[in-house]
A and B are shown apart, each in its own frame.
Chain A
Amino acid sequence: MALLEIKNFSFNYPQSPQPALKEINARVGKGDFIGITGPTGAGKSTLTCCLNGIIPHFQAGKYQGTINLQGASIFDRSTAQLSRLVGSVFQDPEAQIISAEVEQELAFGPENLGFPPAEIKKRIGDALELVGIPELRDRPTVSLSGGEKQRVAIAAALAMLPEILVLDEPTSELDPAGTDEIFRVLNLLNKKQGITVIIVEQKTEQLAAYADRLLVLNEGRIVIDAEPWQVFSRRRELEEIGVKIPQVTRLAGMLGGNDSYTLPLTVEQGYIFIERILRR
């Protein structure tokens, strides 16, 4: 059984003539690292809102089809139930962080679920440790940098011990070092803790390096669902949709690369590929 299964799912915002999502089909297994990319307005954020219960609990609309999480429909569950299963991190951490101090921010979710103080303390400590920011525990949230705020938002989601972490462009305001930091943390959570990661991202170089699978959305549909090298081998299609191909992958494509061995996804792989070509 897939952890998450989306079947023929469509969604219409009220008063919108066009559906935002059209007949979406996708399966996510436990421990997957899934990247979602595509142009603005493609439906990426709408899709994430369907996974964490914002749709239909806070955002009305018409939907068809099913989204099952651990075998049961997401829409039959309360937001409280969903919050234990799906952790959410949004694009703008300032819109997410509500507490004056980091510790309070992390305590908010578990407190609302009624856990005893000792359990909450432990969860806060563990979550901060996992994200690599134990030293921020007593800091006022206003004093944090953008990257720190983003990691606090991830830690707060983790304090709920979710099965799935859903992130909507969590690095858009971050510098390159901050972006790499977030992806390294996500990779660690995924590989070491087995947390399933679903991340919407425009930075395809990072998606190429870390995701097991990519979904490319365009005009409300999933137009490609494949491994990164397969996705980035479809050069013309991606150019038409407006998805950036990582520079090393594009270079290898121009030099005749066309399979998982000859389409590098990182600088390291690109280096090996070029060395091989030049040795021939």
Chain B
Amino acid sequence: MTPKVQIKVEKLTYQYGSGQPALKNISFEISKGESIAIIGQNGAGKTTLAKHFNGLHKPSFGKVYVDNSDTGTMKVSELARKVGFVFQNPDHQIFNDTVGKEVAFGLKNLGLPKQEIEERTATALEAVGLTDHCRAYPFNLSKGQRQRVALASVLAMKTETIVLDEPTTGQDFRESVQIMDMVRKLNECGHTIVFITHDMSLVARYARRVLVLCRGEILVDGDVRSVFAGPELLQKTYLCPPQITNLAQRLGRHSIPPDVLSVRELYELLLKARGEKIGCCS
């Protein structure tokens, strides 16, 4: 059985005002349960594309379907039940005077009973490690914490699809891993995940499929291994695979494959290569 198509983008072109189109005739599909990273240079159109998934942008030409419905005919409030969106800058999102109210806001709009709102809020805050900050004023928190407040309010909505625009910018290493581990868990529970990032090691670690945007067009769309294995294509848009993949690609004459994604993987390949060498010499 082929998995259900969650988001379908059909010949999408988008133009801000009268200038050059920010997206040019883009087509692809995202299936239910996928974990997909969108990468590309600053200004490539990543955020513009993602904003079509929750209806903040409507196509200038072409169509975007979410759950088989044309976003052009849907209200943003309808789409909000299907697609959760974590903005790059949490301050564009947060407006309530306590963390708890912020997380509960979307749930109230859904008209859920009080008890369910409280339960979902508590669960979401626990998931992002902010239970103790429920009554805190959001703008007294650090940027990393505010980002997690924004994430919690999206988690609480339990939307089928969750879109995250650079969720780890401004986070330290541990916070980044915590956030992405949480995103991975959601994906394992069946949520469709779309995330935008500049951190190629996060792509290697957390995405299965990667979409490379370059000046408003899709340069490559494939599984992470095959995309990182061909660095020439990435260089076109000034991206480069993670450091460890880069190193592996220089070790081709030792039979190291070009699509290594983690330190552990290369370590084991090198142990094997060294072992064989010792084996043949002795």
Contact = CB atoms under 8 A, between A and B. Distances in A.
A209 to B, nearest CB: 10
A274 B41 contact: no
A178 B42 contact: yes
Nearest to A238: B173
A204 B244 CA distance: 14
B171 interface: yes
B250 A271 contact: yes
Contacts of B266: 251
B172 A40 contact: yes
B198 A255 contact: no
Q: How large is the interface on A (under 10, 10 to 19, 20 to 34, 35 or more residues)?
A: 35 or more
Q: How large is the interface on B (under 10, 10 to 19, 20 to 34, 35 or more residues)?
A: 35 or more
A199 to B, nearest CB: 16
Interface string B222-251: 000000000000000011101110110011
B251 A271 contact: yes
A178 B237 CA distance: 12
Interface in A84-123: 91
Contacts of B244: 247-248, 251
B169 A243 contact: no
Contacts of A175: 40-42, 198, 238-239
Nearest to A179: B198
Interface stretch (B8-16, B50-58, B78-86, B270-278): B270-278
Interface hub of A41, A179, A247 (most chain B Cβ within 10 A): A247
A248 B242 CA distance: 10
A2 interface: no
Contacts of B144: 40
A267 B42 contact: no
Given A40-B144, A175-B198, A270 B267 contact: no
B200 A174 contact: no
Interface hub of A145, A243, A271, A274 (most chain B Cβ within 10 A): A274
A1 interface: no
Contacts of A255: 267, 270
Interface string B142-185: 11100000000000000000000000011111110000000000
Contacts of B250: 267, 271
Given A172-B169, A251-B247, A254-B267, A39 B277 contact: no
B219 interface: no
B190 interface: no
Contacts of B172: 38-40, 202, 242
A133 B126 CA distance: 47
A185 interface: no
A274 B173 contact: no
Contacts of A179: 198
Interface in A204-249: 204-205, 242-244, 246-248
Nearest to A250: B263
Contacts of B135: none
Contact of A243 (B171, B173, B243, B270): B173
Interface of A: 38-41, 91, 145-147, 169, 172-179, 202, 204-205, 242-244, 246-248, 250-251, 254-255, 267, 270-271, 274, 277-278, 280
25 contacts: A39-B172, A39-B173, A41-B142, A146-B42, A169-B170, A174-B42, A174-B198, A176-B239, A179-B198, A204-B173, A242-B173, A242-B174, A246-B243, A247-B201, A247-B242, A247-B263, A251-B244, A251-B247, A251-B263, A251-B270, A254-B263, A270-B243, A271-B247, A278-B270, A278-B273
Interface of B: 40-43, 142-144, 169-175, 198, 200-201, 238-240, 242-244, 246-247, 250-251, 254, 263, 266-267, 270, 273-274, 277
Given A40-B171, A175-B41, A255-B270, 20 more contacts: A39-B173, A39-B175, A145-B42, A145-B43, A146-B42, A173-B169, A175-B40, A175-B42, A175-B238, A176-B198, A176-B239, A177-B238, A178-B41, A205-B243, A243-B173, A248-B247, A267-B250, A277-B274, A278-B270, A280-B274
